[in-house]
Amino acid sequence: MIIRPTCLAVSLLLALPALAATPIDQTRPLAADGSLRIENVKGQVLVRTWDRPEVHITGSLGDGVEKLEVGPGGDSLTIEVKYPNSGGWFGGGNRSEPSRIEVRMPAGASLDVDVVSARVDVEGLEGAKRLAVDSVSGSVEVRASRAGEARFDLVSGSLEAELDSDDISVDTVSGGVRLSGRGGGELGVDTVSGDADLAFESLRRVVMDSVSGDMTLRTALAPAGRISADTVSGGVRLRLPADTSARLSVETFSGGISSPVGEVKTEKYGPGKTLEARLGGGEGEVRLATFSGSVRITLDDN
């Protein structure tokens, strides 16, 4: 006699993973200018803001997760997904199902997110002192946000951010980076093989370093500002307004140089090219150097 599973039995079996997830619904007080830290190994961290002095946590804990630890609240609050045997990623977190953490927080509070392979999605920060995201392989997306300083430390996950901040720092290995905003302050981007596409209204100081990733920057340079870029084999693309005032210095060992101003000089003996020029009154400084990557500079009338 052959026993055939009924449609109901099959449906129940398929629903088991969903039933295993533990729903979350907690609220804790947090000052409007307080700080929130979220830790989740894998799954998703979604953050939205409101004008209430409290944090509302929803979502679900994956099967195999020990618990959600939340506390203490007030000026600072920590939300951490805990794993068995003091968990962490190597103590049991890799055997659990993904957890989804959804948070509503005060728009002006600082935010610190630490994940391994979880996707991070942040929107609506308004005047926070600090935004920091530390991720290994999950993608990070930030929209319509403003923070005094922003720090991103990534390995292979991508970063896409629409962010206004006076101080932005990005450190990545192979993840792609796309940043835009009003800017006005300092920007630092350090990548090994990931490409970076950066677009800001104005910046005062820029430092870009790359091994093989291409760096593209579109910005106006603040008075007496400075832009510096160094790569090994990655290309550098720089787009500035035509009325930029700066001293321009470009150097490459075996790559090419393209610029609407100045004269490219080739070493008489051996490889190497340089370009020295002045943009406007030469008030600021632009220095671009690469070993084998190419450098292209464009000046826009508008």
Which domain, by its residues, includes 259? 166-302
- Give the total number of structural domains in the chain: 1
- Tell me which of 91-95, 185-189, 240-244, 269-273 is least confident: 91-95
Please say whether the beta carbons of 278 and 254 come within 8 A: no
Residue 245 lies in a domain: yes
pLDDT of residue 271: 86
Mean model confidence pLDDT for the chain: 91
Higher pLDDT among residues 302 and 159, named by residue = 159
Residue 113 confidence (pLDDT) above 90: yes
Residue 198: inside a domain, yes or no?
Answer: yes
Q: DSSP secondary structure string, 136-153?
A: SSS-EEEEEEEEEEEEEE
Inside any domain, residue 74: no
| In a domain? residue 33 | no
Q: Quick one: average pLDDT of 89-118?
A: 87
Whether 7 maps to a domain, the answer reads no
Answer with the residue of higher pLDDT: 97 or 5.
97
**Residue 10: count of CB within 10 angstroms of its CB:** 10
pLDDT digits (tens, 9 = 90+) for 203-252: 999 999 999 999 999 999 999 999 999 999 999 999 999 999 999 999 99
287 in any annotated domain: yes
Contacts of 24 (CB under 8 A, 6+ apart): 57, 58, 59, 60, 61, 68, 101, 102
pLDDT tens digits along 45-93: 999 999 999 999 999 999 999 999 999 999 999 999 998 874 445 444 5
- Decide if pLDDT at 13 tops 60: no
Residue 19: its pLDDT value, please? 44
Does residue 113 belong to any structural domain of this protein? no
Looking at residue 6, its pLDDT comes to 52
| In-domain check, residue 232 | yes
**Taking a C-beta distance cutoff of 8 angstroms, is the pair 232, 210 a contact?**
yes
